[in-house]
Amino acid sequence: MVRIPEAQHRLFENVFVCKKCKSKIRSDSNRVRNKQVKCRNCQGKALRAIRLKK
């Protein structure tokens, strides 16, 4: 399967997942690192980067 760079960028760049409720949030990595972004559903600030699919 061929990976298209534009699609990879759109799907995985600046996408984070809430550790509590597993919802996806698109934001800048510096804002996530500084805890300025919170989850829309549970208001949690613990986010992780989305894992690449293989």
For every residue of 4-44, DSSP letters joined together read: PHHHHHHHHTTEEEETTT--EEE--HHHHHTT----TTT--
Q: Could you give the CA distance from residue 46 to residue 34 in angstroms, rounded to a whole number?
A: 11
Question: Is position 21 within any domain?
Answer: yes
pLDDT classification of 52: cutoffs 50, 70, 90:
confident
Percent of the chain residues topping a pLDDT of 70? 94
Question: Confidence class of residue 33 from pLDDT cuts 50, 70 and 90?
Answer: very high
| 15 within domain boundaries | yes
Number of domains present in the structure of the chain: 1
In angstroms, rounded to a whole number, what is the distance separating the alpha carbons of residues 51 and 54? 9
Residue 11 has pLDDT above 90, yes or no: no
**Which residues span the domain enclosing 9?**
5-49
Residue 54 lies in a domain: no
Give bridge partners of residue 25 from the DSSP assignment.
Answer: 16
Its pTM stands at 0.81
pLDDT for position 10:
87
